[in-house]
A = this chain, B = another copy of it.
């Protein structure tokens, strides 16, 4: 029966993660009447035993309330373990630096990673561990985590792991309200969003037992006897699940390193990834367990050879969307990784169907963001470690100033589209010269210059000289 149950659960998962198309909500409270957007640094910082968590809180920034998102940056020290948790919204995680592994816990999926008897060298086969699939990640990876699905991360490398996560609170997969929430399965983590934290301080809960302030995971709120009964253990062990007096925070140090069934090395991994892709292609003909429990939740967009748009003089852009990572179709997010060389330009454009939330990985750029009135809501420099939101339909232009500029942009649509204003794929190029001449009150000659002057798409190099126009 259990097997059938798992099967039925997996079948649900199939629908959950493939069939259900999350939709976004617009903001009803004039949250997008933005008079000014700022490039902002995190406004909250939580220190943990083996890392640091910083957050950009939507309650502090109208730009995030307009976009309906929250942003979190995590630094995990080597041997740091991010405690298992889930969120009320789907999230994308970009690995800025480092390597590690993660386990996404899908209810009903089989434990397919199994210790061999030899590797442990133990006499009793009963003690062999088995658990769900573990995935490795490395710099440049995007990980997609659906709402309500728990996961843990571990840094098994020698340098710190730095990640930036986007929580898509306005996603219709979130049926709660517009507050970001993390539910922890273990430990006693500090809440990373001030809002919730403050509210909690102001309004003491009605039911809290024992040493309240020292307890924050979801077992805390349950009766120890219930837990003991549910896990079939004694109450002393049950109490340990509640994580009281645990001061290690959300990222804990694993002494001696984590001994788990080793996921394959990077080379093996790449082979495995390509196999996953093969399997994806065959999916329609396949069984069910293979399709969900092994679904691909990551894709690397850091590799320069992966570029979707490349101009030798200007830079490159790699995109990830539901065409190259199908799980994004269900969580309705996509991302863009960009590199802009010194003095090069991202040609002016607007995001047709998505908000864009940009985190600067390296360097600095001058940006301008323009609203429907032609007003500049942002005009300034955006630097490494800052976040800048470009709302849907607002026009934007970027220019790398003095140094190379690298960024990751999260987009609130699984196939976010940019509509360029200049260059070979632009709206201007699509119009007849006569329409341009009349619209801009210019000569046919000038209209031709405007229309055919820029030969590039998306990225423009500053080496292009004025006057090179078709005229």
Task: Give the residue of B109, B207, B322, B345 whose beta carbon is less than 8 angstroms from that of A377.
Answer: B207
B258 touches A438 (CB 8 A): yes
Q: Which residue of B lies closest to A323 (CB)?
A: B11
Any B CB within 8 A of the CB of A174:
yes
- 11 A-B pairs within 8 Å (CB atoms) are namely A9-B425, A16-B415, A26-B172, A33-B199, A103-B431, A107-B352, A148-B392, A176-B393, A185-B439, A186-B440, A223-B379
CA distance A113 to B29 in the complex (A): 44
Any B CB within 8 A of the CB of A121:
no
CA distance A237 to B15 in the complex (A): 52
B246 touches A441 (CB 8 A): yes
Interface SS majority for chain A: loop
**What 17 additional pairs, Cβ within 8 angstroms, besides A187-B439, A221-B376, A254-B434?**
A12-B321, A21-B21, A26-B172, A27-B28, A30-B178, A35-B206, A81-B435, A113-B432, A150-B427, A174-B392, A184-B374, A186-B440, A206-B377, A207-B375, A215-B374, A220-B370, A221-B377
Residues of B within 8 A of A260 (CB): 432, 434-435
Number of copies: 3
Pick the interface stretch among A157-165, A224-232, A270-278, A298-306. Answer: A224-232
Residues of B within 8 A of A436 (CB): 186
Q: Give chain B nearest CB distance to A245 CB in angstroms.
A: 10
B432 touches A352 (CB 8 A): no
CA distance A29 to B391 in the complex (A): 22
Task: Give the residue of B81, B107, B259 whose beta carbon is less than 8 angstroms from that of A427.
Answer: B107
Q: Give chain B nearest CB distance to A292 CB in angstroms.
A: 12
Q: Which residue of B lies closest to A131 (CB)?
A: B432
A222 touches B368 (CB 8 A): yes
A176 touches B26 (CB 8 A): yes
Residues of B within 8 A of A26 (CB): 25, 169-170, 172, 174-178
Any B CB within 8 A of the CB of A464:
yes
Within 8 A of B (CB), among A421-471: 421-436, 438-442, 446, 448-450, 453-455, 457-458, 460, 462, 464-470
A354 touches B175 (CB 8 A): yes
Q: Which residue of B lies closest to A221 (CB)?
A: B370
- CB within 8 Å for A149 and B258 given contacts A373-B196, A422-B230: no
Within 8 A of B (CB), among A395-425: 395, 397, 399, 412-413, 415, 417-425
Any B CB within 8 A of the CB of A142:
no
CA distance A44 to B350 in the complex (A): 28
- CB within 8 Å for A25 and B454 given contacts A368-B222, A440-B243, A466-B228: no
Q: Which residue of B lies closest to A422 (CB)?
A: B230
A427 touches B105 (CB 8 A): yes
Any B CB within 8 A of the CB of A72:
no
- CB within 8 Å for A177 and B345 given contacts A252-B439, A422-B231, A432-B261: no
Any B CB within 8 A of the CB of A194:
no
Q: Give chain B nearest CB distance to A100 CB in angstroms.
A: 13
Any B CB within 8 A of the CB of A8:
yes
CA distance A152 to B432 in the complex (A): 11
CA distance A464 to B168 in the complex (A): 42
Task: Give the residue of B81, B176, B425, B467 whose beta carbon is less than 8 angstroms from that of A234.
Answer: B467
Q: Give chain B nearest CB distance to A238 CB in angstroms.
A: 9
